Structure 1
Amino acid sequence: MTNDPRFQALDGLPTEELRQRAFSTARHHGDIRFFVDLLRHLPAASDTERLDNSTGDIGLAVDDAVALWREFTGHGLGDAEPVLRASFIDYLLKHEAVEH
């Protein structure tokens, strides 16, 4: 895949531009699964796995999701950046025609 010119074009972009393009594409397709999968890659996501989906945990789950979203869109991706970057590129290769 590394010889694919589309991959090379995407890989040359900054992570923030990849994020913006992937988010735009996912919004266009109404692909909520993309966003859920990304949230699972964030460090704090492991904390939400302990929730048992009871109604008492809904408020906590919403708070955790908002915190994760703020962390994710705050562009401080830290150690998760390589995995998220790969997710953005993979998603764009599958769903967007690269125009460069």
Structure 2
Amino acid sequence: MDANGLESLPANELHDRAVRYAVRHGDFGFLWNLLKVIPAAEAVSGNDDETANDLSRVSALLSDAIAAGEGELGEALKPVYIDYLTKHPDA
């Protein structure tokens, strides 16, 4: 699916596709990148308190990564998922 088709999908579906593909293919680089961009996405989505917590606690990042397709956070991360999925069209 191309970037235009992916744009129309909800954030939670993009998250599920990207994370499922990364886990299935052992793409720890993508998963690590996702963990690194979550604090910025938290800030963009208005969760400044979460940003401070995420920067200091890996467990918070892992928890966020699992739920990173939902709500405002999922919307803030859509470009990350779309970029990844366009590079892996079989995802």
TM-score of the two chains, using structure 2 as the length reference: 0.69
C-alpha distance after superposition, 1:4-34 (max 9, x if no partner): x711111100000000000111112100010
Please tell me the root mean square deviation across aligned C-alpha atoms, in Å.
2.5
2:88 to 62, 79, 95: 95
TM-aligned CA deviation for residue 36 of structure 1 = 0.7
- Matched to 1:94, the amino acid is K
The answer to whether the 8 A contact 1:42-1:80 is kept is: no
Task: Report the Cα distance in structure 1 between the residues aligned to 2:20 and 2:7, rounded to whole angstroms.
Answer: 18
The answer to whether the 8 A contact 1:22-1:88 is kept is: yes
TM-aligned CA deviation for residue 86 of structure 1 = 0.6
The answer to whether the 8 A contact 2:2-2:89 is kept is: no
Distance change in 2, residues 1:81/1:69 (3 Å) = farther
Alignment of 1:15-94 (within 5 A): 15-43=11-39, 44=51, 47-48=55-56, 64-75=57-68, 78=72, 81-82=75-76, 84-94=77-87
Q: What percent of counterpart residues are identical?
A: 33
Structure 1's unaligned 5+ residue stretches are 49-63
> Aligned pair count?
78
- Matched to 1:34, the amino acid is F
TM-aligned CA deviation for residue 79 of structure 1 = 5.7
Does residue 14 (structure 1) correspond to residue 7 (structure 2)? The answer is: no
